[in-house]
Structure 1
Amino acid sequence: MRGMFTIEHDFDATIVTLVDDPARHRQEDVTVSLFAECITVAQYDPRADRVTTITLSLAQVRDLRAALDLPEGSYRIAPQGRADAKE
């Protein structure tokens, strides 16, 4: 089964909700809110009975995007925007 998501545009943010496929080990939905200066990622934690939220700077999101396509290692983003291996 393919993933499902929703997109909503609010006044100050775009909100993407990632819905996990129905499965035996299904996770709670993830809500990603994109603001001009940061991105938040939130997920309900049923064990703690609360929503846990993390905030990423736009630089952290850029680094995460680069990291998704790289092999294991330590990297530094070069001024040209590519990831160079850190020695």
Structure 2
Amino acid sequence: MFTIEHEFDATVITLVDDGEELPLIEDVTIAAFEDCVTLEQLDPRTEEVSRITLSLSQVRDLAAALNLPEGSYRLERKPD
């Protein structure tokens, strides 16, 4: 399950682990800003939120990587 909210400066997506497998994992919150994307998840052992920040270039690479076989790649942008 997931939710999408449009806020003033970001689009926020929350991924909720509602699978059949136990134990369930803490929610992941993804905030897409103009210049970066952040991922946050509560660590239940420490009760602290872990945050990862990706540049938009890293997000594009991640999206492409999900559909490619093992290997090393470099994406080249086509001029507009």
Structure 1 length as normaliser, TM-score?
0.83
For these two proteins, the number of residue pairs brought into alignment is 78
Partners in 1 of 2:77 and 2:64 — Cα distance? Answer: 13
Runs of 4 or more, structure 1, over 2 Å off, are none
1:7-86 correspondence to structure 2 within 5 Å: 7-22=4-19, 23-80=21-78
Partners in 2 of 1:35 and 1:72 — Cα distance? Answer: 30
Overall identity of the aligned pairs, in %? 61
For the residue of structure 1 that corresponds to 2:57, the secondary structure is helix
Which structure's relative contact order is higher, taking Cα pairs within 8 Å and 6+ residues apart? 2
5+ long unaligned stretches in structure 1: 81-87
Measured against aligned partners, the alpha-carbon deviations of 1:47-75 in whole angstroms (never above 9, x if no partner) come to 11101001000000000000000011111
CA root-mean-square deviation? 1.4
Measured against aligned partners, the alpha-carbon deviations of 1:23-52 in whole angstroms (never above 9, x if no partner) come to 312100000001000000000001111010
5+ long unaligned stretches in structure 2: none
Structure 2 length as normaliser, TM-score?
0.90
Quick one: which amino acid aligns to residue 54 of structure 1?
I
Quick one: which amino acid aligns to residue 57 of structure 2?
A
